[in-house]
Amino acid sequence: MAEGQERKSRRYTILLVDDEESDRIPTRKVLEEAGYTVLEADTFQDAFGRFESHRDSIDLVVADISLPDGNGCELTLSMRDQKPDLRVLFISGHVGAEVCRYYGLDVTDLHFLRKPFAPEDLSLRVEAVLASEDTFPRSYKPKVRTSSADVSSD
């Protein structure tokens, strides 16, 4: 079976992390309609707990950068410490873009989708991230990590 056919026939599991219910619910619906299994979380801690419970089945984390108890960058880095091949797609508006700059992330990267986005843009980006050889943004420049509180989510 060709790689593209295998990708489409395999059911991927996505951990969706967004504290804004008005964004999370429609995003979940788009992903489910595209055939993905979706696990939801609305905080850093909730997301990490779900990740620990479902680590082996999660293929992709779609994470808002700004979370009330941390940020999506630190969250996904912590997850990738345990699962290095975990794929990541960051979603965020203007506040998240500031956090991205701190981490050296290029907001034009394949692994970043600016809110608000159209449903078809989300579907296409998720498919592209799943198909990419890069599991995490190439533009990421590691910072010395001490705690998730190092970067404000304001």
One-letter-per-residue 3-state SS of 102-147: HCCCCCCCCCEEECCCCHHHHHHHHHHHHHCCCCCCCCCCCCCCCC
**Span 99-149, pLDDT tens digits:** 667 777 777 789 999 899 999 999 999 999 999 999 988 777 655 555 444
| Residue extents of the structural domains in the chain | 11-132
What is the amino acid identity at position 21? E
CA angle 109, 119, 36 (to 5 degrees): 85
Q: Which helix (H) or strand (E) holds 91?
A: strand 87-92
Overall pTM surpassing 0.75 (yes/no): yes
Find where tokens 């965020």 sit. 92
Instruction: Count, in order, helices (H) and strands (E) of the chain.
Output: 6, 7
Residue 6: pLDDT band with limits 50, 70, 90:
very low
Is 41 strand, coil or helix?
strand
The superfamily (CATH) of domain 11-132 is: Response regulator (3.40.50.2300)
| Residue partners of 8: CB distance under 8 A and separation at least 6 | none
**Span 38-73, pLDDT tens digits:** 999 999 999 999 999 999 999 999 999 888 898 888
Above 90 in pLDDT, residue 94? no
Above 60 in pLDDT, residue 153? no
Q: Which residues pair with 60 in a beta bridge?
A: 14, 87
